[in-house]
Amino acid sequence: MRHAEAVARLVPKQLQMTGMTGSVPYYGGRLSPAQAYAASHPAAPPPPMAAPPPRSPTPPPPRRDPVAALDELLESGVITEAEHQELRDRLAT
Amino acid sequence: MTGPVQVIVLGFDEPSFTGEVMAELTRLREAGVVRVVDVLLVSRDEDGTFETLPAPPGTDPDLGRIAADVVGNGDPDGSPADDSWSLADVVAPGSVAAVALVEHLWAQPLVEAIRDAGGRPLAEAWLSPEDRNGLPEQSG
């Protein structure tokens, strides 16, 4: 039912329940509307305890330039000139 | 504002604001018993929304403004507290209601006396007509 002469929208405000002589803690032996609402809308369970933040992993050591490493191996005699060249060719591909 | 103020919500099939009711309230006001702070007419649509209705012809055009401030301006997303109520709890969709704020001038001295005596309210209710009929006449 809509009344053509309605003048403004009204959003009901929650008013505190109280008696003439002060705040009466008991609502006529029944659940108050707010209590009934709360009973039919149980609060969501509290979220589980948050897991501790993951430990920041140790940053990997900076990657060494493979060409420089090959040069070092060649100079130290670990690999031959041919092996050095072969490995450099692999890096290039 | 000195005395306790009661919010009375009355349902009607159609907006109504009889002169008889106002005449009686005026008489009580003159006797220092009650004071009508304000009266607001509201309608509730089938979808649950409320709208205020204009003051009846011949009345103060500002009638209802104070009551609208008291019972309106709510939070549409708010949830009721344990000890609260609103018009949405009592006015059915598709109906019309009058909201009256009535200050009980007579009660202020009583409330002060109760407070001074250390009394605290435990319950308040109105006796039903059936229970009132069981009272002896001219009691007290």
Q: How do residues B1-10 score in pLDDT, each as one tens digit? A: 578 999 999 9
Main-chain phi, psi angles of A15, to 5 degrees: -110, 140
Distance, in Å, from the CA atom of B22 to the CA atom of B119, rounded to the nearest integer, reads 35
ipTM over 0.90: no
Hey, what are A75's tokens?
A: 């100079």
Rounded Cα distance between B18 and A80, Å, is: 114
CB count in 10 Å sphere of residue A83: 13
pLDDT digits (tens, 9 = 90+) for A24-67: 655 545 555 666 666 666 666 666 676 666 676 676 667 778 88
pLDDT exceeds 80 at position A3: no
Residue type, B31: A
Contact B9/A at CB under 8 A: no
CB contact under 8 A, A14 and B70: no
pLDDT at res. B21: 73
Cβ-contact B48, B87 below 8 angstroms: no
Taken in order B54, B60, B64, B65, the sign of the CA dihedral is: positive
Quick check: pTM over 0.80?
Answer: no
- Per-residue pLDDT tens over the stretch A62-80: 777 888 888 888 888 888 8
Q: Give the per-residue pLDDT at A80.
A: 87
Confidence of residue A2 (pLDDT cuts 50, 70, 90): very low
A-B interface: how many C-beta pairs under 8 angstroms? 130
d(CA B13, CA B118): 45
Q: Among A28, A16, A23, which residue's Cα sits nearest to residue B111?
A: A23
Cα distance from B86 to chain A (closest Cα, Å)?
A: 5
Q: Does A39 touch chain B (CB under 8 A)?
A: no
Q: How far is B20 from chain A (nearest CA, A)?
A: 24
CA atoms within 13 A on the CB side of B135: 10
> Taking the mean position of all CA atoms in its chain, how far away is CA B111?
19
DSSP category for residue B79: -
| Better-scored residue on pLDDT, A42 or A92 | A92
Indicate yes or no: CB of A33 within 8 angstroms of CB of B114.
no
Write out pLDDT tens, residues B10-38.
988 766 666 677 778 778 888 888 999 99
Per-residue pLDDT tens over the stretch B59-76: 788 889 999 999 998 887
Mean pLDDT, rounded, of chain B: 86
- Residue B55 near residue B64, CB atoms below 8 Å: yes
